[in-house]
Amino acid sequence: GCDFHQPLASSAALEAVRKLVRAEVPHLDNDRHFHPDMEKAIAMVRSGAAVKVAGAVALPGIAP
């Protein structure tokens, strides 16, 4: 949803996570099987990568 609201931006933490996701999961312009995209995003959450990039912006003094 964030991509559809550009040029508006969200919080710095959410923008950091959006950029992380977009590095692996392209914007959904056309119909495609969505499962591989979901698996990539889930892996980012499970690995801690999403928390790490969000925390680096939102909570610089707290290490995940």
**10-residue stretch averages of pLDDT, the chain, 64 residues long:** 71 88 89 92 93 74 55
* Diameter of the chain measured on Cα atoms: 41
**pLDDT given at position 30:** 86
**pLDDT given at position 64:** 53
**pTM score:** 0.71
**pLDDT given at position 19:** 92
Cβ atoms within 10 Å of 11's Cβ, excluding its own: 11
Element (H, E) at 56: helix 49-58
For the four alpha carbons of 17, 19, 23 and 26, in that order, the dihedral sign comes to: positive
**What phi, psi does 58 have (nearest 5°)?**
-80, -40
**pLDDT given at position 63:** 53
